[in-house]
Chain A
Amino acid sequence: MSWPPLLLLSLCAGLSFAGVTRAEGWLQPAPFAPEVDEGEILLGELNCVACHTTSSEVLARLNSPGAPKLGVNGLRLTPRWLQQWLADPAAKKPGTGMPHALHGLNGAQRTETAEALTHFLVSLAPTGTPAGVSADPARAESGKALYHELGCVACHAPMAHRSDVPDDAFARAVAKAVPLGDLAAKYPAGELVRFLRDPLQHRPGGRMPGSGLSEAEAVSLATYLLRDQIAAATKAKPAAVNGLQFDYFEGGIGSCGDMEKKTPSFSGVTDGLNTKMAKRGNDFGLRFSGVLEVPTAGEYTFWLNSDDGSQLFLDGQQLINLDGTHPPTEKSAKTTLKAGPHSFTLLFFQGGGGLELDLRWAGPEITRRPVPSEAFRHYAQPLLPVGHTEFVVDATKAALGRQLFASPALNCAACHSVDNLASIPVKPLLALAARSSAGCLADNVPVGAPKFDLTPTQRAALRKTVAAAAKLAQPVSPNLRVAQTLTRLNCYACHSREGLGGPFESGRSDWFKVHGEADLGDEGRVPPHLSLVGMKLKPAWLTKVIAEGPKVRPYMATRMPQFGAAHAAKLAASFVEADKQTDAQPEPALTERDAKLGWKLVGRDGLSCIACHTFTTYGSMGIPALALEDMAGRVTWDWFRRYLPDPASLRPGTRMPTFWPEGKAVNTAILGGQTDPQIKAIWAWLNDGAKAEVPAGLIRGRKEIVPDQEAVIYRHFIEGAGSRAIGVGYPEHANLAFDANELRLALVWQGSFIDMSRHSTDRGTGYEPPLGDHVLKFPAGPAFAALPNFEAPWPAAPDRLAGPNRFLGYRLDAKQQPTFRYRVGGVTIEEFPQPKAGEVDMTFLRSFKLTGNGPLWFRVATGDLKAAGDGTFTVDGKFKVRCRGAGEPKIVGNELRVPVNAPGEFTVELTW
Chain B
Amino acid sequence: MKFSDAIRRTVTLALSFCSLVVGHWSFGTTAATTAEREAEFYPLITVPIPEGIVLEAGAIAALPNQRLAVTTRLGDIYFVDGAFQNPPTGAKFTKFAAGLHEVLGLFQGKDGWFYATQRGEITRLRDTNGDDRADEFETFADGWGIGGDYHEYAFGSKPDRDGNIWLVLCLTGSFTSEHEFRGWGLRVTPEGKVIPTTSGIRSPGGIATNHLGDIFYTDNQGPWNGTCWLKPLTPGGFVGNPSGFKWYPLATNLGTAPKEPASNSRIATERAKMKEFVPPAIGFPYNKMGQSASGIANDGSGGKFGPFANQLFVGDQTWSTVMRVYLEKVNGIYQGACFPFREGLDSGTLSLEFAADGSLFAGGTDRGWGARGGKPFALQRLVWSGKTLFEIHEMRAKPDGFELTFTEPVDPKTAGDVTAYTFEHYTYIYQSNYGSPEVDREKPPIESATVAPDGRSVRLKVKLTPGHLHELKAPGVKSAKAQPLLHPAAYYWLNEIPAQ
Contacts and interface: CB of A to CB of B under 8 A. Distances in A.
A164 B176 CA distance: 14
Contacts of B368: 611, 621-622, 762-764
Given A504-B437, A740-B120, A756-B74, A763 B370 contact: no
Contacts of A767: 148
A583 B1 contact: no
Contacts, number: 247
B33 interface: yes
A808 B344 CA distance: 43
A839 to B, nearest CB: 30
A608 B9 contact: no
Interface residues of A, number: 93
Nearest to A606: B374
B16 A529 contact: yes
Contacts of A606: 374
A810 B138 CA distance: 6
Interface stretch (A222-230, A331-339, A708-716, A744-752): A708-716
Contacts of A759: 74
Given A498-B16, A657-B371, A659-B372, 6 more contacts: A529-B12, A608-B366, A611-B371, A712-B99, A723-B145, A756-B74
B29 A663 contact: yes
Interface in B407-439: 432-437
A401 B25 CA distance: 66
Nearest to A713: B99
Nearest to B36: A664
Contact of A166 (B17, B138, B264, B366): B264
B374 A801 contact: no
B240 interface: no
A666 B373 contact: yes
A865 B286 CA distance: 63
B204 interface: no
B28 interface: yes
B136 interface: yes
Contacts of A808: 138-139
Interface in B247-273: 250, 262-264
Given A581-B22, A608-B370, A667-B374, A661 B33 contact: yes
Interface in A128-174: 164, 166, 168-169, 172
B142 interface: yes
B149 interface: yes
Contacts of B432: 164
A813 B221 CA distance: 45
B33 A662 contact: yes
Contacts of A519: 174, 222, 434
B370 A661 contact: no
B180 A717 contact: no
B82 interface: no
Interface in A774-813: 800-801, 806-813
Interface in A502-535: 502, 504-505, 507, 509-510, 514, 517, 519-522, 524-525, 529, 531-532
Interface of A: 6, 164, 166, 168-169, 172, 496-500, 502, 504-505, 507, 509-510, 514, 517, 519-522, 524-525, 529, 531-532, 581, 583, 604, 606-609, 611-612, 621-623, 642, 645-646, 648-655, 657-659, 661-664, 666-667, 674-676, 712-717, 723-724, 727, 740, 756, 759-767, 800-801, 806-813
Nearest to A512: B433
Most chain-B CB neighbours within 10 Å: which of A609, A622, A716?
A716
Nearest to A172: B1
B98 interface: yes
Given A611-B369, A801-B250, A531 B100 contact: no
Interface string B126-150: 0000000011111100111111111
B19 A650 contact: yes
The range of chain B's interface size is: 35 or more
Interface in B123-177: 123, 134-139, 142-151, 173-175
A510 B433 contact: yes
Contacts of B147: 723
Contact of B376 (A164, A510, A608): A608
B437 A522 contact: yes
Contact of A654 (B8, B17, B287): B287
Contacts of A645: 25, 27
Given A667-B374, A756-B74, A762-B368, A661 B174 contact: no
B6 to A, nearest CB: 10
B398 interface: no
B1 A812 contact: no
A191 to B, nearest CB: 37
Contacts of A812: 134-137
Interface in B1-48: 1, 5, 8-9, 12-23, 25-29, 33-35
B298 interface: no
Most chain-B CB neighbours within 10 Å: which of A517, A621, A760?
A517
Given A166-B262, A811-B137, A498 B20 contact: yes
B135 A715 contact: no
A606 B366 CA distance: 12
A762 B148 contact: no
Contacts of A651: 19
Nearest to A664: B33
A807 B263 contact: no
Nearest to B173: A517
Nearest to B437: A653
Contacts of B98: 712-713
B1 A168 contact: yes
Nearest to B149: A765
B367 interface: yes
B150 A505 contact: no
A649 B19 contact: yes
B263 A164 contact: yes
A767 B101 CA distance: 13
B343 interface: yes
A853 to B, nearest CB: 22
A168 B33 CA distance: 48
A97 to B, nearest CB: 26
B471 to A, nearest CB: 15
B20 A531 contact: yes
Nearest to A674: B28
A25 to B, nearest CB: 15
Contacts of A723: 120, 145-148
Nearest to B23: A583
A499 B250 contact: no
B27 to A, nearest CB: 5
Contacts of B435: 521-522, 653
Contact of A764 (B150, B175, B180, B250): B150
A725 to B, nearest CB: 9
Contacts of A504: 8, 12, 437
B479 interface: no
Contacts of B54: 760
Nearest to A727: B99
Nearest to B56: A760
A531 B250 contact: no
A452 B1 CA distance: 35
B353 interface: no
